[in-house]
Amino acid sequence: MTTVENVWSRAILPIDSTIQQVIRNLDEVAIKIVLVVNERGELHGTISDGDIRRGLLRGMTLESPIDSVIHRDALVVPPGLGRDTVKQLMLVNKIHQIPVVNDQHQIVGLHLWDQITTFPSRDNLMVIMAGGKGTRLMPYTENCPKPLVPVAGKPMLEHIIERAKLEGFSRFVLAIHHLGHMIEEHFGDGARFGVDIGYLREQSPLGTAGALSLLSPRPDAPFLVTNGDVLTDIRYGELLDFHRHYDAKATMAVRVHEWRHPFGVVQTDGVEIIGFEEKPVARSHINAGVYVLSPEALDELAPQGQCDMPTLFERLKSGSKRIVAYPMHEPWLDVGRPDDLAKAHVEKQSRQAEDGTGISRGE
């Protein structure tokens, strides 16, 4: 939830306030809204500077009570509603503030347009696994590391970094092995991309989790991990917040995958036919290749030891550590085969035509 901590609480006034007190509050707090509560602490309504102006034009004075200018049908939202949904509500209703209320209709936060459209700066590390050979993507990877294969004019790894940077992330570590020197030559220390980039240099392939044993210094806060061939509009910041909310040691982003059986299925019990199902659809969650790990998760890795991410999750689970799944619904593509690459080209070029950047802002 995106709220303005401490500020919204200063914008609360009791229902018996005067116009003068509202004007003073609007001037001092400067968020263009006053939240009016009744004697039980419940949200009674809101007042904007426009409401005050209209009241004064009707002949109200500074000492007049605020009862007649309160907007009692203010749009409110519950805690935990996603950023994108709140933003859409603001756009549809043409408002710049939405109070957050609990089940008792008490104010617990406030969404502001300026905050909902600006991602906060995040100091958390993001590790990108970029050491694979990309054999399924031959011949594109014959003399080029897979993360440097261009998509709509720039390496797919560059798309990932730009996307994360847009959400406030600026510290990256790239795990490299196959043709890793080419990745280092392209990205350097990250200065020309406006970020900080370091490297984990695998002497031999360590898997999607094993390379994390090379992290030095060890992160002191939860950090993101993503495969270097996953192009997605997932909200990295919201994934991180989800991980913290559930106090997990490891969080895996998952997607619902649907598969339709090409034939009608006959259900039997021995030789008896007990039912039919015409081309049933099977649904399951698949690993999206994006994760958040708490520093303690690194205790399950042996130095220089090979380990893939599902194995790390299994180790944490067997040690009674909490692991959770983050259901994602945003566009996602694992660029593993030539037809995936062709699809990625089309999607990125389409976005570039729409907004001139190719970076989806989720708008």
Q: Are 318 and 334 in contact (CB under 8 A)?
A: no
Q: Are 79 and 108 in contact (CB under 8 A)?
A: yes
End-to-end CA distance of the chain: 17
Torsion angles phi and psi, residue 352, rounded to 5: -60, -35
* C-alpha span between 263 and 280 (Å, rounded): 8
* C-alpha span between 349 and 67 (Å, rounded): 54
The one catalytic residue in 94, 154, 279, 343 is 279
- Identify each DSSP E strand in the chain by its residue range: 12-14, 34-37, 43-47, 97-101, 107-112, 122-129, 150-151, 154-155, 169-176, 196-201, 223-227, 230-232, 250-260, 265-269, 272-277, 281-293, 323-327, 332-334
**Parallel, antiparallel, or unpaired: how do β-strands 43-47 and 34-37 relate?**
antiparallel
Among 77, 119, 125, residue whose Cα is nearest residue 101: 77
- Tell me the two tokens of residue 202: 């695998």
- Tell me the two tokens of residue 84: 């994108």
Q: Are 303 and 280 in contact (CB under 8 A)?
A: no
Q: Are 240 and 122 in contact (CB under 8 A)?
A: yes
User: What is the gyration radius of the CA atoms in the chain, in angstroms?
Assistant: 26
DSSP per residue, 306-354: ---HHHHHHHHHHTT--EEEEE--S-EEE--SHHHHHHHHHHHHHHHHH
95 sits in the region (left: phi over 0; alpha: psi -120 to 50; else beta) called beta
- Tell me the two tokens of residue 302: 């042996």
Q: Is 133 an active-site residue? A: no
Q: Which residues are catalytic?
A: 279
